Amino acid sequence: MRVEYREEPCRAALSSVRGMPFAWSLNPYTGCAHRCTFCYVRAFERRADRPAGSDYGRSIRVKVNIAEVLRRELARRSWRGDPVAIGTATDPYQPAEGRYRLTRACIEALAEAANPFNIVTRGPLIVRDVGALAAAARRARVSVSVSIPTLDDGVWRTTEPGTAPPRQRLRALEMLREAGLDAGVAVAPVLPGISDGRDDLAEVVTAARAAGATHVWACVVNLRPGTREHFLAHLAEDRPELLPFYERLYGTRAYPTRQAQERVRSLVAGIRREAPVTRRPVVRPDPRAEQLSLL
């Protein structure tokens, strides 16, 4: 697939977020070349009247000045040093990052300000920045979640067409942990009837723990309008026998029944408790770094 990259400056780097576990997000790119069939961002793109179907990911906005804008925002007297979530609306380590290095520049800006942040990514390119992440972790709390919904090659190929193989992501996780970073796995999203079996989940969780994951969490796929149509269209091609099942499970809701969600969370929690852990030390911030950043 040919991707167009549009270099466009931004007016703001940090975005205020409501209804999430974090208050601020940061996305150096708009649009994602990974083009996962289940991507929840498609729903927001549709609401913004931007391509959400097969055209999503064909045009990527590159916020070329985002690091400079971020530094100004972090320096404001009104900024309170809240944790920043990177990669909430687009993967910060998608292919464009190899050329533009905007995520790397933002990590350096956050480190200079001793500002805590967390990253969610499917991109093994993150290992390029192990040194920068470790340096940031010595100044503020840093956490990384590598997204690995499945280790099944067939499911991966049909649902995450633009991403690196899951086991390559596991190796990236291992390298992050070897560097002492607080890094774990997001088993997300879990696909009912496809990747929610106990054996499927156990394979991911056990591999994550063996790689030294400090945390493992899971969530079931979110099928808001925009995402729903695209995902179900692909499901009709790959697993048509599951369409009636999804219609019953989801109805008109964005998420399946509470019982279905709790089943996945309970399974993952139980497997996580039982799985042997490869323990490695975690880099912790020096309290003096935050104090100096406030002077």
294 band by pLDDT with thresholds 50, 70 and 90? very low
**Residue 34: which of 66, 3, 13 has the closest Cα?**
3
Query: Taking the model in full, what pTM does it have?
Result: 0.93
For residue 278, pLDDT over 90 is answered with: no
Higher pLDDT, 89 or 287: 89
For residue 291, pLDDT over 80 is answered with: no
Residue-level pLDDT at 289: 62
The predicted-structure confidence for 246-274, as pLDDT tens digits, reads as follows 999 999 999 999 999 999 999 999 999 99
279 band by pLDDT with thresholds 50, 70 and 90? confident
Helix axes 130-137, 166-178, angle to 10 degrees: 50
Rounded to whole angstroms, the Cα distance separating 74 from 66 reads: 12
The predicted-structure confidence for 111-134, as pLDDT tens digits, reads as follows 999 999 999 999 999 999 999 999
Classify residue 270 by burial, with Cβ atoms within 10 Å: 0-12, 13-18, 19+: middle
The predicted-structure confidence for 4-28, as pLDDT tens digits, reads as follows 999 999 999 999 998 888 899 999 9
Rounded to whole angstroms, the Cα distance separating 193 from 237 reads: 15
Residue-level pLDDT at 295: 43
Rounded to whole angstroms, the Cα distance separating 161 from 183 reads: 24
CA 28, 34, 38, 43 dihedral sign is positive
- The pLDDT of 77-86, averaged and rounded, is 97
**Residue 141: which of 99, 168, 113 has the closest Cα?**
113
The predicted-structure confidence for 178-195, as pLDDT tens digits, reads as follows 999 999 999 999 999 999
Which letter, b or e, does each residue of 167-198 get, where b requires 16 or more Cβ atoms within 10 Å of its Cβ?
A: eebbebbbbbbebbbbbbbbbbbbbbebbbee
For residue 51, pLDDT over 80 is answered with: no
Distant-in-sequence, close-in-space partners of 212: CB < 8 Å, separation ≥ 6: 173, 174, 177, 178, 183, 277, 278, 279, 280
150 band by pLDDT with thresholds 50, 70 and 90? very high
- The pLDDT of 92-96, averaged and rounded, is 97
Residue-level pLDDT at 40: 87
Task: Please give the structure tokens belonging to residue 294.
Answer: 């406030």
- Work out the percent of the chain whose per-residue pLDDT is above 70: 96
Rounded to whole angstroms, the Cα distance separating 174 from 172 reads: 5
Higher pLDDT, 101 or 20: 101
**DSSP states along 122-171:** S-GGGGGGHHHHHHHHTTS-EEEEEE-----HHHHHHH-TTSPPHHHHHH
Can you identify the CATH homologous superfamily of domain 4-279?
Answer: Aldolase class I (3.20.20.70)
Average model confidence (pLDDT) across the chain? 93
For residue 293, pLDDT over 90 is answered with: no
